Amino acid sequence: MAVFGTRIFLSLHKDESIPATLVSLPTSSASSSSPKLTPFPSWGMQEYGNCDKIEQAAGLEVDAVGRLWVLDDGSCYCNNSKLWIFDLSNNDKIQLIHYFPFRYNLHDLVLDETPNGYFAYITRWGDQDIVVFSLERNESWIVKTPGMKIFSIALSPKEEPRQLYLTTRPSYRLLKAAVGAKPYTNEPSKSGQTDNSVLIGLLTFFLVLSCTFNLWLYMRMRKLQNCNEQRNTGVVEMEMHPVPNSFSPKMHGGRGNRK
């Protein structure tokens, strides 16, 4: 879901009962009845199996200058998933269609405005990688994350040092990785490392840190549980072996016999 002005944009899972996969609806209405969904940008742009139309919309995002970015998963009839960019401030004009070198599994995206232009960080269902797209270069590339299937993605506020927040499947661990003005690439740096290895190193570090913390927390909880069990056992033993009350009738009777 994305919001711009007085419109809400939604992506719907395409099937026989849902003819449009990308729709909009107004944020307010003069009528008391529920607002109706409107195919975006039009009925004519929605056609499953047509590689030049919107086939299966997925993640949505609106940038700071009023452009709607839409992931399009494509179909079995086309070899490429797509990224659509619409200029919402200019009659919803199509600004760009980018064709990815793969098909299927597009899930979500975040947008990062940098001195080098806009970049999109994109996740794919069940894949061990992140897709990076540069608007200025109209180019995309894949950054591998071996052993980590990235599921959800978020970006820290611009006022803070930029961080990518990621969750993995099936463990749903929360990880983070620093993002600079230069996005992750597959090109070697002066040190000979690629951003693949840097990102993997960062994610692995936080994954190990997360596992260590979870282990410490488990051991701590286990220790507290054992202490509670020992206390409870002590209470039971005291109840099973009570100390006679000095004012009980039995003890009074005992004193009388000794006299």
CATH fold of 2-204: Neuraminidase (2.120.10)
C-alpha span between 152 and 107 (Å, rounded): 8
pLDDT at 91: 96
pLDDT at 161: 82
Which residues contact residue 220 at a Cβ distance below 8 angstroms, ignoring those fewer than 6 apart? Answer: none
Whether 59 contacts 71, CB under 8 Å: yes
pLDDT at 121: 95
Domain coordinates in residue numbering, the chain: 2-204
pLDDT at 182: 57
pTM of this prediction? 0.71
pLDDT at 227: 65
pLDDT at 106: 94
- Closest to 97 (Cα-Cα) out of 74, 131, 123: 74
The DSSP result for 11-47, as a single string, is: E---BTTB--SEEEEES--SSSSPPPPEESS-GGGB-
pLDDT at 141: 93
Long-range contacts made by residues 1-10, C-beta under 8 angstroms, separation at least 24? 1/60, 2/60, 2/61, 2/62, 2/68, 3/27, 3/62, 4/62, 4/66, 4/68, 4/88, 5/88, 7/88, 9/40, 9/60, 9/62, 9/68, 10/37, 10/60
pLDDT at 246: 42
pLDDT at 35: 86
Pick out the chain residues at pLDDT < 70: 180-220, 223, 226-259
